Amino acid sequence: MTVASDVPLPVLGARLREARRARGMSQADAAAGIGVSRPTLISVEQGKRVPTAAELVDFARLYGRDVHELVRDTPPVEALTARFRAVEQGSRDTKAAVDELQRLADDVHELELSEGLTIQRRWPDEYDVAGLSSAAAATLAADEERKRLGLGDGPLLNLRQVLESDVGLRVFSLPMPSAVAGLFAVVEPVGGCIGINSRHPFERQRWTLAHEYGHFLLHRYSAEVTSVVPGRSRDEQTAEAFAAAFLMPKDGLIRRFQQARRQRGGTVTAVDVLQLGAAYEVSAQAMALRLEDLELLAGGWWDSLVQRGLKVQEARDTLGIAIQSRDEDTVPKRAQYLAVEAFLEGRLSEGRLARLLRLDRVAARDVVHRLAGSQDVAHEGETQRWLWEPEPETQASD
Amino acid sequence: MTNGDPLLLDACGCINLAAAFPLESLSADLGRPIYIVEQAASETLFLHRQIDGERVKVQIDLGAIPALRLDGDRELELYVRLAKRLGDGEAASLAISHCRQLELVTDDRTARKVAGREAPNARIRGTAEILKALATSMAPPDDEVARALRRVESYASFRPPHDDPELSWWLSAREFAE
């Protein structure tokens, strides 16, 4: 019996091995769970024996995977979890987040291969910062990247889009334990992958993105699990300094700070710092600490404000500074468009679309309507809306 | 459409029909036994309803729809083959529809294409076709049909695609003025 015979056996074997490892099962346990001998299981994982359909269904159940995940013909992105295995992963929830990052990268990679599109990489070389302090290394990389990407020195409001489209990284938003801010690894064939915690506030997510981008630029081939409380290692300190310098570039920030000071007749208040934070889409604390680092505010200014009872949220409400929604787009926007196009043209089923987006069916349909539709204003000022639909099918296109 | 023959729903069709009418009475209203395969039933099935100005997910109660299980090498092999291109629920639904020659309700373009090539015995019906048949056989008031179709559009975010043969019926029936 040759089940799924058009899936290359080595690929099928690799997928089964990856799924077993992600489940944390030994070969002996898996073999017992399926009711085959261990040599038989090894033979299947080595791509030497064709599993029966019933065995594949049992494997999927045992490993908590969809059958589709096991029988698709793209090789698994095994290296991603392997790369993370080399670092401290912390809790079981953190390991689950790493596994989910791999599965998301796998899903998007499969989609891109099946659609014949690959992500354009516009990666700079790793910055040579040997011999520099963390602060100097971070400033060098942040300034050069701003220049390379043509970002100027103002607030950077579409960071995720820049990293996905202009750099060619894959950014995913997925649930993680609250103490974990993000994940980062570069593995082939998927390239640079960043995971941000979908449960964190928007400003924290942006900070994490910039932090992980710092790792990409400066320590590209080490996988990172980034904690909310920054680690003490030099690499972590540099990535933190990079996030500050990249999100709040010195020259532009000084200009805006001076403008605020002039408007107040030479002083700066907490209100100005809150407004600067909102303009740069960073937290008030991050802005204040950056201003302290740049010696625009006295050291300890923020701490003393907090000790005196500053309530940031109340102050923001009073000033009418809106809370931005969390970024909960699980997969990169480009992958969403690609998936919707494939869905509308009958190359991606609704079940697979929903799975890729990690949404229920109706929510996935809403994404289709949102991304396939387009609005504009017509001559008379009325709103026009178009919904993209594929051409009627012909025999030839089938 | 043969009266009395069993009807199989995939997740896509099940969501749409559940938005239109209570699933508990669907079998009696259509005069046909209704089934769903286990894989399709286990895929999260929600409607999205507007409650107090917010869009809220409401779990679909599948208690009235018996679940079928894949059985035998033929069904399992076809299932695994189809799962290479489809989601598990779609693959299992098509496999059973093909092997047991059950009519399958799905509006999924990809599932329909794959069925044409790899599960030719599967007889595919669309949501609009089923609802039109229901409207014809039950002859409910026009405004009730219009409300049902609008519920599908609202709760299930579904309207038949431009090439659905019953699209014009749908568009005309949904516009009935109360």
* Nearest CB to A350; choose among B91, B108, B114: B108
How many folded domains does chain B comprise?
2
- Phi, psi angles (nearest 5°) of residue A300: 85, 0
Same domain, B92 and B119: yes
Residues B36 and B18: their CA atoms lie apart, in Å, by: 13
Tell me: pLDDT of A82 over 80: no
Q: Is residue B142 part of a domain?
A: yes
If asked whether residues B94 and B132 sit together in one domain, one would say no
Q: Give B153→chain A minimum CA distance, Å.
A: 10
Asked if B108 lies within 8 A of A362 by C-beta distance, the reply is no
Domain shared by B118 and B133, yes or no: no
Ranges A43-47, A126-130, A386-390: which has the least confidence: A386-390
Q: How far is B123 from chain A (nearest CA, A)?
A: 18
Q: Find the angle CA(A109)-CA(A364)-CA(A69) to the nearest 5 degrees.
A: 40
Kindly list the residues from chain A whose CB atom is less than 8 angstroms away from the CB atom of residue B117: 398
Give percent of chain A with pLDDT exceeding 70: 91
Q: Would the pLDDT of A397 be above 50?
A: no
Q: What are phi and psi of A191, to 5 degrees?
A: 90, -150
User: What residues in B contact A395, CB-CB < 8 Å?
Assistant: none
Asked whether residue B116 is assigned to any structural domain, the reply reads: yes
Asked if A67 lies within 8 A of B83 by C-beta distance, the reply is: yes
Q: Are residues B143 and B65 in the same domain?
A: no
**In a shared domain, residues B74 and B41:** yes
What span, in angstroms and rounded, lies between the C-alpha atoms of B63 and A351? 22
Among B76, B89, B109, whose Cβ lies nearest the Cβ of A351?
A: B89
Residue A44 pLDDT exceeds 60: yes
**pLDDT value for A379:** 59
Beta-carbon contacts of residue A170 (< 8 Å; ≥ 6 apart) = A105, A108, A119, A164, A190, A191, A192, A193, A194, A332
What is the rounded average pLDDT of the residues A285-297? 95
- Band the pLDDT of A4: cuts 50, 70, 90: low
Partner residue facing B157 (CB), from A348, A349, A369: A369
Please report how many Cα atoms fall inside a 13 Å half-sphere around the Cα of residue A137, on the Cβ side: 22
List of chain B residues with pLDDT < 70: 1-3, 177-178
Model confidence at A382, in pLDDT bands (50, 70, 90)? Answer: low
Same domain? For B41 and B54 the reply is yes
Give the separation between CA A173 and CA A236, rounded to whole angstroms.
Answer: 21
Write the DSSP string, A113-143: HHHT--PPP-PPPPP--TT--HHHHHHHHHH
Closest-approach residue (CA) in chain B for A369: B157
Res. A6: pLDDT tops 80: no
B26 is a domain residue: yes
For residues A292-319, one letter each, b for 16 or more C-beta atoms within 10 angstroms of the residue's C-beta and e for the rest, the string is bbeebbeeebbeebeeeebebeeebeee
What distance in Å separates the CA atoms of residue A46 and residue A81, rounded to the nearest whole number? 19
CATH number at residue B77: 3.40.50.1010
Write out pLDDT tens, residues B88-138: 999 999 999 999 999 999 999 999 999 999 999 989 999 999 999 999 988
Is B2 a member of any domain? no
DSSP per-residue letters across A235-301: HHHHHHHHHHHHHS-HHHHHHHHHHHHHHTTS---HHHHHHHHHHHTS-HHHHHHHHHHTTSS-TTH
The answer to the question of residue B1 being in a domain is no
Residues of A in contact with B81 (CB under 8 A): 3-4
ipTM of the complex: 0.96
Given B79, B87, B161, which is nearest A351 (Cβ)? B87
Smallest CA–CA distance, residue A273 to chain B, in Å, is: 34
The shortest CB-CB distance from A4 to any of B11, B80, B157 is to B80
A276-305: average pLDDT? 94
Q: Quick one: B112 and B151 in the same domain?
A: no
pLDDT of the residue at A396: 36
B56 part of a folded domain: yes
Q: How confident is the model at residue A395 (pLDDT cuts 50, 70, 90)?
A: very low
Quick check: is B121 in a domain? yes
B80 and B37 both lie in a single domain: yes
Among B102, B126, B150, the domain boundary falls at: B126
pLDDT band at A256 (very low <50, low <70, confident <90, very high): very high
Q: Is the pLDDT of residue A274 over 70?
A: yes
Per residue in A199-237, pLDDT tens? 999 999 999 999 999 999 998 888 889 988 887 788 999
**Mutation to test the A interface, candidates B17, B46, B62, B110, most A Cβ within 10 Å:** B110
A35 backbone φψ class: left, alpha, beta (φ>0; ψ -120 to 50) = left
Q: What is the pLDDT of residues A321-366, one digit of tens each?
A: 888 889 999 999 999 999 999 999 999 999 999 999 999 999 999 9
Q: Which two tokens stand for residue B92?
A: 């299992």
Cβ pair B110:A348 closer than 8 A: yes
Judge if B170 and B121 occupy the same domain.
no
Residues from chain B contacting residue A355 (CB–CB below 8 Å): 87
Same domain, B16 and B81: yes
Of B46, B76, B86, the CB nearest to A351: B86
**pLDDT grade for A378, boundaries at 50, 70 and 90:** low
Q: How confident is the model at residue A374 (pLDDT cuts 50, 70, 90)?
A: low
Name the H helices within B21-166.
23-30, 38-42, 72-82, 88-100, 109-118, 127-138, 142-155
B137 and B157 together in one domain: yes
Q: Report pLDDT for A87.
A: 63
β-bridge partners, A191 = A187
Q: What is the pLDDT of residues A88-136, one digit of tens each?
A: 556 788 888 998 999 999 999 999 999 998 888 999 999 999 999 999 9
Domain interval for residue B115: 7-126
In a domain, B166, yes or no: yes
B107 plus B135 within the same structural domain: no
Q: Residue B161: its chain A contacts at CB < 8 A?
A: 389
Partnered with residue A381 across adjacent β-strands are none
- Which amino acid does the sequence have at A311? K
Residues 6+ apart with CB under 8 A from A236: A226, A230
Number of A to B CB contacts under 8 A, please give it. Answer: 119
Mean predicted lDDT score pLDDT of chain B: 93
Query: Rounded to the nearest 5 degrees, what angle is found at the Cα of A357, between the Cα atoms of A351 and A359?
Result: 70
